[in-house]
Structure 1
């Protein structure tokens, strides 16, 4: 127990504590003048979620993450079951999306499934033993594993989380040793599809609107989110995008000061999906840059932990979590400065949302578990390799090893694995 505490990455803990303070303060500023009784206490509601989140980080730190890989198929079935529960009597519709279940508290299964998907694909890739991924036997099954929840979440009108699944799959396939030819084919097809789809959307916009309103009315709101990006001059519903950009721009370099924002009050959901507009207006470019710097440090620490990992499961899980965070950060900030379509995606650790926060904290707990358990392996290897040396030689050996960048446990020599030259 004491050894695990000693190996905790305290840089990550400090950053999470800073996120907690920033989140509660900014959410309070966003809702303090609200006349809606349901959201005026949002900042207060986030306090117990953060307390529970830190308890979850501690619990996951001492939990052996390898068990998640072992039981990944069962977690996947459980996750799909949770996604389907939104159509049960427990299902709740919020903001036009049927994506929540009420079990005393509201839970968003699509958020939970992001972590399930990372573990599931990671468990599949671990068994490949550094072999190149074959298209029909590996890439296609992984795609199908992700396609099922992707379609379920699309039907629930949650485009943001559905796209997050796609990003996670792409990142894990890349790190999982997909063939360059397969990756190139995918990039060409994706680029061609994006160009063709954009051109068709701009050319046949009126027909597409008519078709969607007639045949898919629940999904027709996707068009109003695409119009400000693809048809900015003709967009009728660009209220959100224009006001968000105006609020951020008005903050200038240093911002207007805490709780002095006024333009961000015109933006919908400033306490949740649009919380970056409050940061931009009240703390300016410097405040947004500082927040992004914290994200950078957090992700850097996660990548270092992945590189130091002695087994294959840890890096796959961390890469999936990093991809999840990078997508959410880029999409959330991008949609509020007009370079990405508006989707219902939260800013990690900052936006209001209990399920989102707890999943993010659980993810960091898993990263911490990977770090702690692999540090124990590294320390054991060091003892086995240096037991026959005196203190001076041990120090010299540690110094020499410190300049090497380990990569996924593949830094052992062929001789140490018992292979002949």
Structure 2
């Protein structure tokens, strides 16, 4: 047991501690005038405490047992996504949460990310480094990802659904896919995007009316604001515009901690969660934002280094899937606050307030440490 603990990447652990301190401080600043979120900073530290315990327990657990039983975890994830339609609660227009009582909630779409990573790693790992076959491997991975993607889109949760796609793309990229398959995939994505934009423009009015009739008008607003920012109304542009103004007002060094409750930020929703980067940019400026991005860079780099040193390709696939998930979430969350990405409900990893997303990320890092701690040369089970 002690030998496993010694193999933990302690630089990553120090960065996780730094993330916990940053998250608690920024969440406190974002919620200190809101009695609804009283003591959110304390709750954040409690979630981190629980997360570190879970991380250490998973580090001691042999990750290969998860890969051997991947179909069980995948089935549980799909079942939870189905059950949330019948027993879940609706938040911000999405039927995607289970109420656990005491103000605690659980979002199965978050946990499904990890189950999907495990499933895809197990499927691709069967080839033991040989080029992936289109029918038996690539199509199997596609089928495994389409099901949760469709279920989450129906909720609707566009943010998490997109993350599933980038997880799979990142894993396929290092999975020894033939270049012809890559070109076919890229061509399909480009063609799909062009077709989507064309149809959206051609049937703009009909789409707006249809989504409004089904209480999904926020979908239309977000897509239309991104594709046609000049045509969007003031209300539709407000979050993006005020976010950019608030971040820009921070300048080089920021307005100072707890000094960023500006006239711009009060118009931005969810500053404790999805929009938390606005608080960082406004109060700590470019310097603070750059330091956070540097910590993310080092953190992801250490993960990729562990993946490179793996004897077991399946472990490498798992780590790359986790890294792909986090890289996209970081890019998307910050990108939507500075106006280069459409606004979606994606949190900033380890910084945004939220127990489900934080615990999932800690579980993922525990799995990375487990892969590092259980690296012995061995023959993979058939």
TM range (shorter): over 0.9
Q: Paired residue for 1:294?
A: 295
Partner residue in 1 for 2:119: 120
Specify the alignment match of 2:200 in structure 1. 201
* Alignment partner, residue 312 of structure 1: 313
Cα contact 1:202–1:231 (8 A) shared by 2 = no
Secondary structure at 2:95 match in 1: strand
Gaps of 5+ in 1: 382-408, 410-421
The answer to whether the 8 Å contact 1:30/1:265 transfers is no
Counterpart CA distance in 2 for 1:163 and 1:133 is: 23
Q: Is 1:150 aligned with 2:149? A: yes
Contact 1:202 1:230 in 2 (8 A): no
Look up the match of 1:6: 6
How far the C-alpha of 1:204 sits from its partner, in A, is 3.6
Rounded to whole Å, the distance in 1 between the matches of 2:39 and 2:24 is 11
1:138-197 CA deviation, whole Å, 9 max, x = no partner?
Answer: 212211111111111011111000000011111112211121111101111211221332
Which residue number corresponds to residue 191 of structure 2? Answer: 192
2:72 pairs with one of 48, 71, 74: 74
SS at match of 2:177: coil
Q: What does residue range 373-384 of structure 1 map to in structure 2 within 5 Å?
A: 373-374=374-375, 377=376
Question: What is the rounded CA distance, in whole Å, between the counterparts of 2:254 and 2:204 in structure 1?
Answer: 39
Corresponding residue for 1:386?
A: none
Mark the structure with the bigger radius of gyration: 1
User: Aligned-pair distance for 1:206?
Assistant: 2.1
> How far off its partner does 1:205 sit?
2.0
Q: Secondary structure at the match of 1:57?
A: helix
- Matching of residues 227-246 of structure 1 within 5 Å: 227-236=224-233, 237-246=236-245
Two-structure CA RMSD over aligned residues (Å)? 1.5
Matched length = 373
Inter-partner Cα distance in structure 1 for 2:231 and 2:154: 27
Query: CA offset at residue 228 of structure 1?
Result: 2.1
Partners of 2:142 and 2:173 in 1: how far apart? 13
What is the SS of the residue equivalent to 1:314? helix
How far residue 218 of structure 1 moved from its aligned partner, in angstroms, is: 3.6
Cα pair 2:258 2:283 within 8 Å, conserved: yes
Which segment drifts farther, 298-307 or 191-200?
191-200
Paired residues for 1:157-176 under 5 Å: 157-176=156-175
Rounded Cα–Cα distance in structure 1 between residues aligned with 2:83 and 2:44: 25
Report the Cα distance in structure 1 between the residues aligned to 2:194 and 2:188, rounded to whole angstroms: 10
Unpaired runs of at least 5, structure 2:
none
Q: Could you tell me which of 214, 217, 222 is aligned with 1:220?
A: 217
Matched residue, 2:62:
64
Which residue in 2 is equivalent to 1:335? 336
In 2, are the aligned partners of 1:86 and 1:98 still within 8 Å (CA)? yes
Give the Cα separation in 2 of the matches to 1:219 and 1:320.
31
For residues 244 and 343 of structure 1, the distance between their equivalents in structure 2, rounded to whole angstroms, comes to: 14
The TM-score, its normalising length taken from structure 1, stands at: 0.86
CA separation in 1, counterparts of 2:128 and 2:178? 15
Give, in whole Å, the separation in 2 of the partners of 1:339 and 1:246.
14
Q: What's 1:384 paired with?
A: none
Shift of 1:203: 4.4
C-alpha distance in 1 between matches for 2:313 and 2:185: 25
CA contact (8 A) 2:100 2:106 kept: yes
The CA distance in 2 between the partners of 1:226 and 1:118, in whole Å, is 28
Closer/same/farther in 2, CA of residues 250 and 202 from structure 1, 3 Å limit: farther
State the Cα distance separating 1:304 from its structure 2 match. Answer: 0.5
2:93 aligns with one of 96, 103, 112: 96
Partner residue, 1:47: 45
Match of 1:181 in 2: 180
Q: CA offset at residue 5 of structure 1?
A: 2.3
CA distance in 2, matches of 1:109, 1:49: 17
Match of 2:284 in 1: 283
Deviation digits for residues 351-383 of structure 1, max 9, x if unmatched?
Answer: 011000000000000001111122xx37xx9xx
Deviation at 1:265, TM superposition (A): 2.8
Match of 1:17 in 2: 17
Deviations 1:309-352 (A, max 9, x none): 11111100000000000110000001111111111110000001
Hey, which bits of structure 1, 4+ residues long, moved more than 3 A? none
- Whether the aligned pair in 2 keeps the contact of 1:153 and 1:161 (CA below 8 Å) is yes
